[in-house]
């Protein structure tokens, strides 16, 4: 849900949207987006003001299985779900006028 908001947005607008979103996932995605922008600036791909979020995907990660002890010697399973988040930023090419 949080990733769907920023997909296709310009980076400054996406960061502002994430800053104002009251969800825990927004903080994680904001940190990841800032890292992607810093990596792009380090590779000298352009300024962060010109970049936009070209790809934002969340896939399932590994599931950690744990057990919780219950009464009469039984056990219930607990599944701790994780995810893989991929965010890519791009700079529009000079010839793209549309």
Mean pLDDT of the chain: 92
Query: For residue 98, what pLDDT is reported?
Result: 47
pLDDT in tens, 38-95: 999 998 888 888 899 999 999 999 999 999 999 999 999 999 999 999 999 999 875 4
Average pLDDT, stretch 15-31?
95
pTM confidence score:
0.81
Walk me through the domains of the chain, giving residue ranges and CATH numbers.
Answer: 2-58+85-90 (3.90.470.10)
Euclidean distance between CA atoms 34 and 36, whole angstroms:
5
pLDDT in tens, 46-60: 888 889 999 999 999
Q: Is the dihedral of CA 38, 56, 23, 14 positive or negative?
A: positive
Position 96 confidence tier, pLDDT thresholds 50, 70, 90: low
Euclidean distance between CA atoms 93 and 5, whole angstroms:
23
């Amino acid at each position: 849900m949080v990733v769907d908001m920023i997909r296709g947005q310009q980076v400054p607008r996406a960061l502002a949207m994430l800053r104002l979103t009251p969800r825990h996932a927004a903080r994680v995605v904001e940190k990841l987006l800032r890292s992607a922008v810093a990596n792009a600036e380090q590779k000298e791909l352009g300024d962060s003001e010109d970049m936009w979020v070209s790809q934002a995907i969340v896939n399932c990660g590994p599931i950690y299985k744990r057990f919780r002890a219950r009464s009469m010697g039984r056990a219930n399973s607990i599944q701790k779900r994780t995810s893989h988040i991929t965010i890519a930023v791009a700079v529009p090419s000079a010839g793209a006028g549309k």
